[in-house]
Amino acid sequence: MTGTSADGIDAALVRFEQDQPQTVASCFSPYPARLREQIISLSRRTQVGIDALFALDNAIADQHSEAVSQLLMKAGVSTTQVTAIGFHGQTLHHHPDGDSPFTVQSGNPARLAALTGIDVIADFRRADMAQGGQGAPFAPALHDTLLRTPGKTTVVLNLGGIANITVLRDGDDVIGFDTGPANALMDDWIGAQLGRSHDHNGQWAAGGRVNSALLNRMLADPYFSRGWPKSTGRETFNLHWLETQLAGLTEKPPAQDIQASLLELTAVTVADAISAAAPDCRQIITCGGGVHNLQLIKRLGAHLPGATIRRSDELGVDSDYLEAVLMAWLAQRFLQRLPGNLPSVTGARRAVICGALYPA
């Protein structure tokens, strides 16, 4: 799995026992700086040269092949022991609404199958979108399998490049949707200002002051007041979007205050979404890279004082690799000819088998 932050590849080797995923090994393979720059640059453009687009398609497959080799070497497992690779690809553009919805994940699955000698199952999102769904998020189905607590309303909060929540409540259909930006905007801003890949522990944001005028302008974006199902990504929440918000202020805040305001934006929009979708929630289980942002977790706690915030690791589910496990789970569902989407989450007309097979 490589997400909206586009920092690299989370790889997990998964064994299924009675259809329950058990993680055998995991590793992180960072993107080379030049490749990450190309991904982010292309994801910001509405017009892209076809040569650049398909060169990137191959480069991402090559990088995933290296991640597979690294993972199998770590686990001491040969390629012949692996049934399939669940391959998400790198999202460049996600446009689930309007007259002609579409989503673009870069990464050549045929090339990945050829390089690794392992069957590849990819293109999970478009079958759901063909049924009128958002094509995202898919994680709530796995959250339901792994993290439901009978008798207790639970929210699973994934803090990736984009934040999304899953509501698990006895007797109700699963609810899930993207709440708005999380790590991607904060990473992009600190990268542009200080050249860092991320704000370690949220320390830079913690040293700034929230600019209320900027925060209120950002919160006025129509996405936050929309009902669910809904999903979003870098094509909406990016540095251009931030610069547009800043342009409406009489005075531009200091860079560190902008970082603090971006962090507060995530905390407020997540808290608002949880309050709207699960006002009875008393347990929040966090996963994704944002669990390491201590300032963000602190601010979430301040906005949700009645809830206990726990990491999925406490329940035996690695918070850093849950979405990589999701790709294996989706591949397993495809092989079993079982649906991979949840219409109550995505808004699809029906549950469908998600993915396509690329034989080695």
Tokens of 187: 């990473």
**Residue-averaged pLDDT of the chain:** 95
Q: How far is CA 239 from CA 128, 154, 190, 234, 242, in A?
A: 29, 33, 11, 9, 5
Is-cis flag, bond preceding 137, omega within 30?
Answer: yes
CB atoms under 10 Å from CB of 191, counted, come to: 16
With a pLDDT cut of 70, the percent of the chain lying above it is 100
Q: What is the DSSP string of 86-136?
A: EE--EEEEEE-SSSS-EEEEE--HHHHHHHHTS-EEE--HHHHHHTT----
Residue 148's contacts (CB-CB under 8 Å, 6 or more residues apart) are 154, 168
Range of weakest confidence among 33-47, 66-80, 211-225, 330-344: 33-47
Question: Over the stretch 304-318, which tens digit does the pLDDT of each residue have?
Answer: 998 999 999 999 999
List the strands of the sheet with 154-159, edge to edge.
175-181, 162-168, 154-159, 283-287, 308-311
Query: Residue 308 forms beta bridges with which residues?
Result: 283
Question: Quick one: pLDDT at residue 49?
Answer: 87
Q: How far is the C-alpha of 132 from the C-alpha of 122, rounded, in Å? A: 19
Give the percent of the chain with pLDDT over 90: 92
Which CA distances in Å does 146 have to 20, 110, 149?
8, 31, 9
Q: What is the DSSP string of 137-161?
A: --HHHHHHHHH--TTS-EEEEEESS
29's enclosing H/E stretch is strand 20-30
Question: Which amino acid, 290?
Answer: G
Q: Which two tokens stand for residue 168?
A: 């698990």
User: Rounded to whole angstroms, how far apart are CA atoms 322 and 3?
Assistant: 12
The pLDDT of residue 193 is 97
Select from 109, 172, 177 the least CA-distant residue to 139: 177
CA angle 147, 19, 154 (to 5 degrees): 10
What is the chain's Cα-based Rg? 20
| Cβ density class 326-344: b for 16+ within 10 Å, e for less | bbbbbbbbbbeeebbbbbb
| Confidence label for 46 from pLDDT (cuts 50, 70 and 90) | low
pLDDT of residue 180: 97
- pLDDT tens digits, one per residue of 212-241: 999 999 999 999 999 999 999 988 999 999
- Contacts by 300-303 with C-beta closer than 8 Å and gap 24+? 300/157, 300/267, 300/270, 300/271, 302/267, 303/267, 303/268, 303/270, 303/271
pLDDT digits 0-9 by tens, 72-118: 999 999 999 999 999 999 999 899 998 999 999 999 999 999 999 99
Please report the pLDDT score of residue 355 as a whole number: 98
